[in-house]
DNA sequence: CTGTAGACTTCAGTCGACT
DNA sequence: TAGTCGACTGAAGTCTACA
């Protein structure tokens, strides 16, 4: 059962965007409340960056989703 | 319910180490099988580095633990 | 509201060697 | 077996600005 993580960042970005839309806030709201840069969040959602675990936790806190649920969503999509 | 993430890396490192000991392998085994550097794994376990999400997934695969479970362990410890 | 671009600083992650 | 050190490369994350 090999995992190649080929589209890893794309999947992470998709799941982050889903969670943000679900929450009904803009990238700008998310950036302000999480303390991260808006342009960086844009890149994350488009799969252009590979976030650190700390960034994941910060985003999840603002998105009102538990990190383990987001990670499970990502696992399921891999 | 403020989270300050003050000891975030320490907690992540502790949980990673727990999982490795549970699996019964050395840092070197883990480094070889995950494709990551042994000295880096040493730093991770001691809370000296903040890993990317991709690193977490790679380590979990070798450790035979699902990423969402590791993340849940970390959440519970925060 | 979002994407992108460039320039920037900091840190993730590698590598070899030694304790 | 694990910790650490120094030097290194590439990538994380910031900031300003414009379409």
Chain B: nearest CA to A46, how far in angstroms? 16
- Report the C-alpha dihedral over residues A54, A56, A57, A61, rounded to 10 degrees: 140
Q: Per-residue pLDDT for B40 more than 60?
A: yes
Mean pLDDT taken over chain B: 96
Is the shortest CB-to-strand distance from A28 to strand D under 7 Å?
Answer: no
Question: Which residue spans within chain A are E strands per DSSP?
Answer: none
B71 in contact with A, Cβ within 8 Å: yes
Q: Report pLDDT for A6.
A: 86
Distance (Å, rounded) from C-alpha B66 to C-alpha A3?
A: 13
Q: Per-residue pLDDT for B1 more than 60?
A: no
pLDDT band for position A71 (50/70/90)? very high
Beta bridge partners, B52, equal A52
Q: Report pLDDT for B2.
A: 52
Distance (Å, rounded) from C-alpha A1 to C-alpha A47?
A: 24
Q: Report pLDDT for A1.
A: 55
* b/e map B22-50, b = 16+ CB within 10 Å: eeebebeebbeebebeeeebbebbebebb
Distance (Å, rounded) from C-alpha B20 to C-alpha A34?
A: 31
User: Percentage of chain A surpassing pLDDT 70?
Assistant: 96
Is the shortest CB-to-strand distance from A54 to strand D under 7 Å?
Answer: yes
DSSP label at residue B27: H
Q: Report pLDDT for A31.
A: 98
- The answer, as to whether pTM is greater than 0.85, is yes
């Amino acid at each position: 059962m090999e995992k190649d993580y080929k589209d890893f960042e794309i999947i992470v970005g998709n799941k982050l965007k889903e969670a943000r839309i679900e929450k009904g806030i803009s990238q700008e709201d998310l950036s302000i409340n999480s303390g991260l840069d808006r342009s960086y969040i844009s890149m994350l959602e488009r799969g252009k960056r590979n976030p650190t675990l700390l960034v994941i936790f910060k985003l999840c806190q603002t998105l009102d989703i538990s990190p383990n649920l987001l990670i499970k969503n990502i696992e399921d999509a891999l």
